[in-house]
Amino acid sequence: MKFEDLGLGPKTLKAVEESGYSEPTPIQAGAIPPVFAGRDVLGIAQTGTGKTASFTLPMIDILSRGRAKARMPRSLILEPTRELAAQVAENFENYGKYHKLSMALLIGGVAFGEQNRKLSKGVDVLIATPGRLLDHVERGNLLMNGVQMLVVDEADRMLDMGFIPDIERIFKMTPFTRQTLFFSATMPAEIQRIVDTFLHNPVRVEVARPTSTAETVEQFVLKLERSDARHKHEALRRLIDQEQVRNAIIFCNRKRDVDRLAAFLIKARYNAAPIHGDLPQSVRTRTLERFRNGELSLLIASDVAARGLDIPKVSHVFNYDVPIHPEDYIHRIGRTGRAGQKGRALTLATPLDDKALQAVQALIGRQLPLVGRSGQTQTESLPAQEKTPEAAPEKAASRPRRTRRKRRSKSAAKSAPEAAPAQHAQHKKPEHKVRPPAETRAPQAGFGSAIPDFFKREP
């Protein structure tokens, strides 16, 4: 099947051809014809299957007939993260460059002023994250009753990030007659409930979940004997030094580990920078641009960079943490070995990661070889007791601390060096005084017979 067989217009086909694509992916071949027919679509497909083009291409042709009104967008695309929203906007610019369609990108971390100016002129395509979209609605900058097409992308990711209440609220703001395109990698019960509530007899297009990784990516695991961060940091540093790293993305499960690892690598004089959801959008955008341009060698990231981001020519991917969800392993290592190029993916696994590593290997259907069985890397694992530059503080910390009393006695010994040995020789334990029995003691009523002398003085 060719793109010409899907019903796309000549201007859109020309843009697709210039982008280097000739044949549609399965999700595109299954979703584009129902979109042209005006049907609701439920697409079940992972990131990387080409689903972005499955809704952007038909939307461009459909929206080319008509004109937007001020503050009333004609279509709405919801994305869970700022990076995915920005990438969809880039795809619209590429595929719609021969159409006169206006577009606005509403994401957090960017000033409201420029976004509000675009909305006031009217936009055909509105691409937004749920939080920033609702901010504009509450400010009165946006009316949703003109939306003809609504796209919800990465719905299961929306569920993980707690956006489902916002999604339901946005659905209720849009017209009942809208066309809805709903995409999700998985279908948990909460997602199925939304589909049953807001979609009208949708066409279901399902692409098999990828359980195999690209053949262009060599994969290895480095098993560590300790789980502490210091040991993992040093193991990763050694791997980076041993590999011929042109540039690499290093994935962590937690944002705080992203910051700590980035600080460690920067201190060790590596050209590195962190990226995660808590950073300002301007910082995230600038960091990604530096990495794309080759100004940055190591990108330390949370899973915000695992899905949807197309960063070409990445030579290595390092999993500092084994991913919690096995599917994320495929997304992570898919950042390298793209467009037929070779790539290497190396995962650090501690004793606490045994179950997670087994789940990953069960998903991809094979055991990951240990580092060292390839010609380039020589180390299989780092021994637990191996000396590292950072081990010195631990050794120093284990020494017994001198107390203040000991320091004082030492200074006293220096002041009287000759008396100290004699005192030491004559030192004996003090004799314990035994208290006399109670019957031999003097009565204790008042002063008894022990009257003080000052009471005996005459006036």
What pLDDT was estimated at residue 372? 60
Residue found under tokens 């006695």 = 409
Spell out the domain ranges in the chain: 3-206, 217-389
The two most distant CA atoms of the chain are separated, in Å, by 132
CA 321, CA 224: separation in Å to the nearest integer?
Answer: 12
Contact 40, 46 (CB under 8 A): no
Beta bridge partner(s), residue 375: none
How many helices, marked H, and strands, marked E, lie in the chain? Answer: 17, 13
Residue closest to 334 by CA, chosen among 48, 58, 99: 48
Please state, for a pLDDT cut of 90, what percent of the chain lies above it. Answer: 56
Beta bridge partner(s), residue 219: 345
CB atoms within 10 A of CB 208: 10
What pLDDT was estimated at residue 362? 92
Task: Give the DSSP H or E segment for 300.
Answer: strand 298-301
Residue 130 or residue 47, greater confidence: 130
Residue found under tokens 């083009």 = 53
Say which residues have a Cβ less than 8 Å from residue 220's Cβ, sequence separation at least 6: 344, 345, 346, 347, 368, 369, 370, 371, 373, 374, 377
For residue 451, report the phi and psi dihedrals to the nearest 5 degrees: -90, 130
Instruction: Report helix angle 326-333 to 354-364, nearest 10.
Output: 70
C-alpha of 253 from chain center: 6
Predicted confidence band at 185 (pLDDT cuts at 50, 70, 90)?
Answer: confident
Q: What is the CATH number of domain 3-206?
A: 3.40.50.300
Q: What share of the chain is helix, strand, coil (3-state, %, to 5)?
A: 40, 15, 45
CA 87, CA 129: separation in Å to the nearest integer?
Answer: 12
Could you read off the pLDDT of 329-382 as tens digits, one per residue?
A: 988 888 888 766 889 999 999 999 999 999 999 988 889 999 864 334 444 444
Say which residues have a Cβ less than 8 Å from residue 347's Cβ, sequence separation at least 6: 219, 220, 221, 222, 318, 319, 322, 329, 357, 360, 368
Give the type of residue at 118.
K
Beta bridge partner(s), residue 180: 150
Residue found under tokens 């906007």 = 89
pLDDT > 70? residue 433 = no
CA 120, CA 345: separation in Å to the nearest integer?
Answer: 47
Residue 267 or residue 401, greater confidence: 267
Predicted confidence band at 422 (pLDDT cuts at 50, 70, 90)?
Answer: very low
Residue closest to 322 by CA, chosen among 364, 274, 354, 368: 354
Sequential DSSP letters for 353-389 = GHHHHHHHHHHHTSPPPBTTSSSS---S---TT---T
Q: What is the CATH number of domain 217-389?
A: 3.40.50.300
Domain 3-206 identical in fold to domain 217-389: yes
Residue found under tokens 């051809």 = 17
Could you read off the pLDDT of 21-68 as tens digits, one per residue?
A: 889 999 999 999 999 999 999 999 876 678 899 999 999 999 998 888
Exposed/middle/buried for 300, CB within 10 Å: 0-12, 13-18, 19+?
Answer: buried
As a whole number, the mean pLDDT across the chain is 82
| DSSP state for residue 153 in the 8-state scheme | -
Q: What is the mean pLDDT of residues 71-80?
A: 95
Beta bridge partner(s), residue 184: 44
CB atoms within 10 A of CB 271: 12
What pLDDT was estimated at residue 417? 45
Predicted confidence band at 383 (pLDDT cuts at 50, 70, 90)?
Answer: very low
What pLDDT was estimated at residue 341? 81
CA 234, CA 238: separation in Å to the nearest integer?
Answer: 6
Predicted confidence band at 135 (pLDDT cuts at 50, 70, 90)?
Answer: very high
Residue 291 or residue 338, greater confidence: 291
pLDDT > 70? residue 459 = no
What pLDDT was estimated at residue 249? 95
Using only C-alpha atoms, the chain has a radius of gyration, in whole angstroms, of: 35
Could you read off the pLDDT of 216-258 as tens digits, one per residue?
A: 899 999 999 999 999 999 999 999 999 989 999 999 999 999 9
| C-alpha dihedral, 289 to 155 to 88 to 39, nearest 10° | 170
Residue 107 or residue 385, greater confidence: 107
pLDDT > 80? residue 403 = no
Say which residues have a Cβ less than 8 Å from residue 327's Cβ, sequence separation at least 6: 46, 185, 209, 363
C-alpha of 69 from chain center: 38
Could you read off the pLDDT of 107-129 as tens digits, one per residue?
A: 987 889 999 999 999 999 999 99
What pLDDT was estimated at residue 378? 40
Tokens coding 119: 């909305």
Strand-pair category, 179-184 with 203-206: unpaired
pLDDT > 90? residue 406 = no
What pLDDT was estimated at residue 146? 94
pLDDT > 90? residue 432 = no
Residue found under tokens 């009104």 = 69
CA 389, CA 235: separation in Å to the nearest integer?
Answer: 12
